[in-house]
Amino acid sequence: MRLGIISDTHNLLRPEVFEIFKGVDRILHAGDIGEPEILLELETIAPVTAVWGNTDDFEMRARVPETVETSIDGFAFLLVHGHQLGSPTPEGINQRWPDAEVIIYGHTHRPLLTIVDQVVTVMNPGGAGPLRFGLPPSVGIMELEAGIPPRARLVPLE
Protein backbone atom coordinates (compact mmCIF):
# COMPACT_ATOMS: atom_id res chain seq x y z
CA MET A 1 0.00 0.00 0.00
CA ARG A 2 1.23 3.48 -0.87
CA LEU A 3 0.20 6.42 1.32
CA GLY A 4 0.32 10.15 0.66
CA ILE A 5 1.06 12.03 3.90
CA ILE A 6 0.18 15.72 4.19
CA SER A 7 -0.33 18.30 6.91
CA ASP A 8 -0.80 21.99 7.55
CA THR A 9 -2.33 22.92 4.21
CA HIS A 10 -3.96 25.96 5.84
CA ASN A 11 -6.37 26.24 2.90
CA LEU A 12 -3.68 25.95 0.19
CA LEU A 13 -3.36 22.77 -1.84
CA ARG A 14 -0.33 23.21 -4.08
CA PRO A 15 -0.74 21.79 -7.63
CA GLU A 16 2.37 19.59 -7.38
CA VAL A 17 0.68 17.53 -4.64
CA PHE A 18 -1.54 16.00 -7.32
CA GLU A 19 1.48 14.72 -9.24
CA ILE A 20 3.38 13.53 -6.14
CA PHE A 21 0.31 11.69 -4.79
CA LYS A 22 -0.60 10.18 -8.17
CA GLY A 23 -1.13 6.46 -7.63
CA VAL A 24 -1.36 6.53 -3.82
CA ASP A 25 -3.95 4.19 -2.29
CA ARG A 26 -4.84 6.46 0.61
CA ILE A 27 -4.08 9.97 1.89
CA LEU A 28 -3.51 10.87 5.55
CA HIS A 29 -3.94 14.55 6.47
CA ALA A 30 -2.53 15.49 9.89
CA GLY A 31 -4.59 18.62 10.49
CA ASP A 32 -4.73 22.38 10.01
CA ILE A 33 -6.66 21.65 6.85
CA GLY A 34 -8.52 24.88 6.15
CA GLU A 35 -11.75 24.80 4.16
CA PRO A 36 -13.54 21.47 3.49
CA GLU A 37 -12.78 21.87 -0.23
CA ILE A 38 -9.17 20.86 0.53
CA LEU A 39 -10.37 17.40 1.56
CA LEU A 40 -12.69 17.20 -1.44
CA GLU A 41 -9.81 17.99 -3.79
CA LEU A 42 -7.59 15.38 -2.13
CA GLU A 43 -10.39 12.82 -2.44
CA THR A 44 -10.15 13.15 -6.23
CA ILE A 45 -6.76 11.42 -5.83
CA ALA A 46 -7.53 8.75 -3.19
CA PRO A 47 -9.62 8.17 -0.05
CA VAL A 48 -8.67 10.61 2.72
CA THR A 49 -8.38 10.09 6.46
CA ALA A 50 -7.93 13.39 8.28
CA VAL A 51 -7.79 14.92 11.76
CA TRP A 52 -8.37 18.52 12.77
CA GLY A 53 -5.64 20.84 13.95
CA ASN A 54 -5.59 23.83 16.26
CA THR A 55 -6.40 26.34 13.49
CA ASP A 56 -9.30 24.37 12.00
CA ASP A 57 -12.73 25.89 12.64
CA PHE A 58 -15.77 24.29 14.24
CA GLU A 59 -17.10 23.14 10.86
CA MET A 60 -13.95 21.11 10.21
CA ARG A 61 -13.92 19.82 13.79
CA ALA A 62 -17.44 18.50 13.21
CA ARG A 63 -16.32 16.71 10.02
CA VAL A 64 -13.13 14.96 11.17
CA PRO A 65 -11.90 13.65 14.55
CA GLU A 66 -9.07 15.03 16.68
CA THR A 67 -7.15 11.76 16.55
CA VAL A 68 -7.37 8.57 14.52
CA GLU A 69 -6.03 5.26 15.75
CA THR A 70 -6.45 2.63 13.05
CA SER A 71 -4.85 -0.38 11.43
CA ILE A 72 -3.49 0.07 7.92
CA ASP A 73 -2.09 -3.03 6.25
CA GLY A 74 -1.53 -4.61 9.66
CA PHE A 75 0.30 -1.62 11.19
CA ALA A 76 -1.17 0.26 14.18
CA PHE A 77 -1.32 3.88 12.97
CA LEU A 78 -1.83 7.08 14.95
CA LEU A 79 -2.82 10.20 13.02
CA VAL A 80 -2.76 13.34 15.15
CA HIS A 81 -2.02 17.02 14.60
CA GLY A 82 0.21 17.30 17.66
CA HIS A 83 -1.12 20.51 19.22
CA GLN A 84 -2.29 18.39 22.16
CA LEU A 85 1.31 18.33 23.36
CA GLY A 86 2.17 21.99 22.77
CA SER A 87 5.49 21.48 21.00
CA PRO A 88 5.22 17.83 19.95
CA THR A 89 8.23 15.54 19.70
CA PRO A 90 8.30 11.97 18.39
CA GLU A 91 9.19 10.73 21.87
CA GLY A 92 6.40 12.71 23.52
CA ILE A 93 3.77 11.46 21.08
CA ASN A 94 5.03 7.89 21.45
CA GLN A 95 4.83 8.22 25.23
CA ARG A 96 1.23 9.48 25.08
CA TRP A 97 0.12 6.86 22.52
CA PRO A 98 2.42 3.88 23.22
CA ASP A 99 0.46 1.34 21.12
CA ALA A 100 1.12 3.09 17.80
CA GLU A 101 3.62 1.48 15.45
CA VAL A 102 3.43 4.34 12.94
CA ILE A 103 2.85 7.94 14.05
CA ILE A 104 1.88 10.68 11.62
CA TYR A 105 1.68 14.23 12.99
CA GLY A 106 1.96 17.87 11.93
CA HIS A 107 1.74 21.21 13.76
CA THR A 108 5.45 22.11 13.75
CA HIS A 109 5.77 22.48 9.94
CA ARG A 110 9.18 20.80 10.35
CA PRO A 111 9.60 17.78 8.07
CA LEU A 112 10.82 14.79 10.06
CA LEU A 113 11.21 11.07 9.49
CA THR A 114 12.64 9.02 12.33
CA ILE A 115 12.43 5.85 14.41
CA VAL A 116 11.51 5.95 18.11
CA ASP A 117 11.99 3.10 20.57
CA GLN A 118 13.70 1.06 17.81
CA VAL A 119 10.43 0.06 16.13
CA VAL A 120 8.04 3.04 15.86
CA THR A 121 8.16 4.95 12.57
CA VAL A 122 7.37 8.65 13.03
CA MET A 123 6.72 11.11 10.20
CA ASN A 124 5.90 14.78 10.17
CA PRO A 125 5.47 15.63 6.49
CA GLY A 126 6.09 19.32 7.16
CA GLY A 127 3.74 22.12 6.17
CA ALA A 128 2.27 21.74 2.69
CA GLY A 129 0.43 25.07 2.62
CA PRO A 130 1.59 28.68 2.84
CA LEU A 131 5.19 29.27 3.87
CA ARG A 132 5.49 29.59 7.64
CA PHE A 133 8.40 29.88 10.03
CA GLY A 134 10.81 30.15 7.07
CA LEU A 135 10.41 26.41 6.38
CA PRO A 136 10.04 25.05 2.83
CA PRO A 137 6.79 23.19 2.08
CA SER A 138 6.79 19.41 1.85
CA VAL A 139 4.71 16.21 1.95
CA GLY A 140 5.51 12.55 2.53
CA ILE A 141 5.12 9.21 0.80
CA MET A 142 4.99 5.96 2.79
CA GLU A 143 4.92 2.41 1.47
CA LEU A 144 3.64 -0.49 3.53
CA GLU A 145 4.29 -4.18 3.01
CA ALA A 146 3.51 -6.94 5.49
CA GLY A 147 6.51 -8.14 7.46
CA ILE A 148 8.73 -5.20 6.41
CA PRO A 149 9.13 -1.93 8.34
CA PRO A 150 7.42 1.01 6.60
CA ARG A 151 9.47 2.71 3.90
CA ALA A 152 8.99 6.47 3.72
CA ARG A 153 10.45 9.63 2.26
CA LEU A 154 9.89 13.35 2.52
CA VAL A 155 9.18 15.19 -0.72
CA PRO A 156 9.86 18.94 -1.00
CA LEU A 157 7.29 21.08 -2.80
CA GLU A 158 8.35 23.89 -5.12
Residue spans of beta strands (DSSP E) within 42-137? 48-50, 67-72, 75-80, 102-104, 112-116, 120-124
Q: What is the pLDDT of residue 89?
A: 96
pLDDT at 72 over 90: yes
Mean of pLDDT over the chain: 96
Q: Give the side-chain half-sphere CA count within 13 A for 79.
A: 26
- pLDDT tens, residue by residue, 117-133: 888 999 999 999 998 88
Give the dihedral sign, CA 56/128/39/25: negative
Task: Give mean pLDDT, residues 76-98.
Answer: 96
| pTM of the complete model | 0.97
CATH number among 3.40.50.720, 2.40.50.100, 3.40.50.150, 3.60.21.10, domain 2-156: 3.60.21.10
